[in-house]
Structure 1
Amino acid sequence: MTQAPTPTADTVRRLVRSLMKNGEGRAGGAGGDGPDVRPVTGTEEGGPWVWWVGTRHVLRLAPDRHAVVRQRRELRLRDLVRPHVGVAVAVSVAHGEWSGGLTYTLDTRIPGTTAPVHDVSAVGEDDLAGLLTGLREVPQRQAEALGVPRLPPRSLEALRTAAGRAAKQLAGADEFDPARLGQLTAPNAAQLTAPAAVLVHHALIGEHLLVGADGRVRGVLDWSDAAVGDPAEDIAGLATAVGAPAAVRAATLAGYGVRPCLRGLWLARCDMVVALAAATRGRGPAAPLPALRERLRRAWEPILLERVTELRGED
């Protein structure tokens, strides 16, 4: 797999200058020495591959061939989902190759800050409900024709077992009480089956949700992990991003019943226990430990639904 040289500010500035010279993009904040560019930091998708360009644009560089495929698919998918989801989706004002067949996209910057900064308001929960509803309405055949994969639903029982092992490790570090997982029994996990497949964003973590100071959800970033699959995965992502109660309320407003909501809740809880345990062993994802602890806390916020629901019969 081809690996690109690490881009520098000069690399990015030369690329943006060429776009402005050719009239393909108009990056705000340009000075006499070229546009103001700086790397995006503090997010999982930042580092040397994502750059602020002026005040109105974001440059995303594909670091390898795998990322090229994902980026090209994402550009087409964003156009497909934009009319459906009711929140802003970035627009590419220029795209092409930046180094040896590796691609870039210069995107419009969506106002707002990431979800961990601002809490989502009640109206923001309506925005999230509209997002989930819109994803359900996106034609699956059109998405798959763009190369969006179809993923089978995960086994909640297998995840429950893995979380149980991880919880014991975290207990030794005084990070988590394994007794909390006792709420999800094997019979309950067996009942929380996946609903019908829809298009799912599949990465609705807080860093990909842009929220205004008023609590409204302004936009959704990074559609490169999108798939046709289990909608509970997006409910799970929202639980870690905005908290379990807000996620379940949004999913309920979107028309999802008890089982999909509880399935999403437990996917989030088990995922975060497993992720935090792996991170404490130095084998986890790129997210730092404080961020993982915060996601775990949000996913484990209590909700009324699980207190009053007995999983018998239909929803």
Structure 2
Amino acid sequence: MTPSSEPRSVTPAEQATLAELGARHALWPEDAAVVTLARGGENTTFAVADCVVRINEDRDAVDREVALLRALAEATTLATPVPLVHDAALGLIAYRTLPGEPLLRRPQRRSTGLVEALTQVLAALRELPVAQQLPRDDNPNDAWHADAVENFRAAQSRFEPRQAAAVASFLSDPPPSDRGLVVPQHNDLGAEHLLADPEGALTGIIDWTDAACADPARDLGLLYRDLGSDVAFAIAAGLGGPLTDDERARIRFHARCKWLEDFRYAVDEPETRAAYLANCLWTFDHTFRDHA
């Protein structure tokens, strides 16, 4: 891990690895610039020419993701990253950049075919044999609620009084009960991972690193937060039939927990995370509508 003061720098060892990778597979010119897109505890992502390269210390997670992406490419019409190179020893995966801009940066997020495209991808994912082998993410709702309370406390000074009252009202309610139902899903299906063309049509879904078997309200909650309740509920109905009041409540619960998580993340570094902060401000009213 590089020092926190220089999270975007590229180490000489990383530069050498990427140069050798590009030459061996003829992926980019020898003088192609390397840009660090993200650097986390185990995961580092680079952009080189028209490729994305990610190196993960968790080799098993990379193996699972590669198998999932290859299966998705065969099962869906909407673009997902297709591995060009998979180096199991390095925990490395490389793929071409998908066309489109993240919806996170677009104020207009509705387009013809959006619900149908997302429903098709999530339905196909649930049927893939390889997806049944994804890790189980069954963090209980009590833990989600506790995290939401902590995120609210940490960022409370940044809320307007009306917003703080709405969040406090939500947190005063008990979380939904846990259930045994889990399904394969993206597990981080926010607007930052949905790509669209200039007209707003969905062009692809990226970053499948966190894919897992989890409560279906997880992905649907993020879609509720970033695209609205009508989109999320329409997709949910397309996947599982008519919605119950209980299912709607679960989707709203996860939407609000994830909103609070993103808001705290954004206000910690508002200058570098301005797009996340803008998204939180844009989505607050519909996410917390019945508590506002």
TM beyond 0.5: yes
TM-score (ref. length: structure 2) = 0.75
For 1:210 and 1:44, how far apart are their aligned partners in 2?
Answer: 21
Deviation string, structure 1 residues 67-92 (Cα, Å, up to 9, x no partner): x2211211012123333344212212
Cα distance, 1:297–1:12 mapped onto 2, change above 3 Å: same
Equivalent in the alignment of 1:225: 210
For 1:226 and 1:165, how far apart are their aligned partners in 2?
Answer: 25
Aligned equivalent of 1:39, options 35, 39, 52: 35
Equivalent in the alignment of 2:52: 58
What is the DSSP-based 3-state SS (H/G/I as helix, E as strand, rest coil) of the residue aligned with 1:49? strand
Equivalent in the alignment of 2:231: 246
Q: Contact 1:87/1:218 (CA < 8 Å) preserved in 2?
A: yes
| Percent identity over paired residues | 22
Cα shift at 1:226: 1.1
For 1:158 and 1:278, how far apart are their aligned partners in 2?
Answer: 18
Deviation string, structure 1 residues 39-84 (Cα, Å, up to 9, x no partner): 154x677xx93333333x322223x3x2x22112110121233333
5+ unaligned residues in a row in structure 1: which ranges? 21-25, 308-315
What is the DSSP-based 3-state SS (H/G/I as helix, E as strand, rest coil) of the residue aligned with 2:86? strand
Q: Contact 2:104/2:279 (CA < 8 Å) preserved in 1?
A: no
Structure 1 residue 82 corresponds to structure 2 residue 73: yes
What is the DSSP-based 3-state SS (H/G/I as helix, E as strand, rest coil) of the residue aligned with 2:237? helix
For 1:297 and 1:261, how far apart are their aligned partners in 2?
Answer: 23
Which residues in structure 2 correspond to 1:72-151 (within 5 Å)? Answer: 72-96=63-87, 101-118=89-106, 119-139=109-129, 142-145=130-133, 148-151=134-137
Deviation string, structure 1 residues 207-259 (Cα, Å, up to 9, x no partner): 32221222222222222211112111111232344444433343334345143
Deviation string, structure 1 residues 251-298 (Cα, Å, up to 9, x no partner): 334345143343223212123324534765x5x9x9955344334335
5+ unaligned residues in a row in structure 2: which ranges? 2-9
Q: Contact 1:96/1:105 (CA < 8 Å) preserved in 2?
A: yes
Aligned length: 274
Cα shift at 1:36: 2.5
TM-score (ref. length: structure 1) = 0.70
**Aligned residue identity for 2:113:** V
Provide the aligned C-alpha RMSD in A: 3.6
Aligned equivalent of 2:278, options 291, 294, 308: 294
Aligned equivalent of 1:199, options 181, 184, 194: 184
Q: Contact 2:102/2:195 (CA < 8 Å) preserved in 1?
A: yes
